[in-house]
Amino acid sequence: MKSINPTPADFGFRSADTSTATFSKAEAAFLSSLSNEESASKLGYSRGDVLENQDSFYFPVGWIGCCGHLVNKSSLHVVSFGSYIGPGAHIWAYYEGISMEALGRDRRNTLRILSVSDTRNTVEVLKTFLNPRWVRTELIPKLSALPTEIEGVDLYFGIRSLLEARANGWFAFEVAK
């Protein structure tokens, strides 16, 4: 069984070019998401620690309950990561389309299960973020006639399990908002 712990580098992140106008706009968006700019320096913010890839900046500024922030270069949308998993897994979830908004009611997705190669492990993964009784009584029968969709589900606390399922090929899935 493969366990996977992605890092920002796995998604093409490298040291950010902090001299660009794009960086300045993203930094302003990040700082405005905090209570004030002074709080960023108290939290240890340093431009030299910021990473970027072709579409986002990663600001590795965290505290209890937060392991950093991603700012999309084109929309300047700030996504603050929780702390139950590391930044690499959060970045993986972001690119998968998993909603990571602060409140659970705002973190709804549709999970499309396309195929299953390991039913036992698939069921265990699904139980990490779905009601186990519902999985047993409603979902397991649907796994014999795929694809199937589960709408309006909060996938946030299933990120680690979904990442493991993908790495091990237990089932194929897509995430939609």
pLDDT tens, position by position, 85-112: 999 999 999 999 999 876 556 789 999 9
If we measure between CA atoms, which residue out of 62, 98, 96, 95 comes closest to residue 81? Answer: 62
CA distance 135 to 145: 15
Length of the chain: 177
CA distance 87 to 73: 18
If we measure between CA atoms, which residue out of 177, 85, 21, 108 comes closest to residue 68? Answer: 85
Residue 125 identity (one-letter amino acid): V
CA distance 12 to 19: 19
pLDDT tens per residue, range 3-23? 688 999 999 999 999 999 999
CA distance 164 to 37: 37
Spans of the chain, pLDDT less than 70: 1-3, 36-38, 102-105
- Using CA atoms, how far residue 16 sits from 27, 38, 60, in Å, is 11, 21, 12
pTM above threshold 0.85: yes
CA distance 172 to 48: 38
What is the reported pLDDT for 43? 84
Residue 73 identity (one-letter amino acid): K
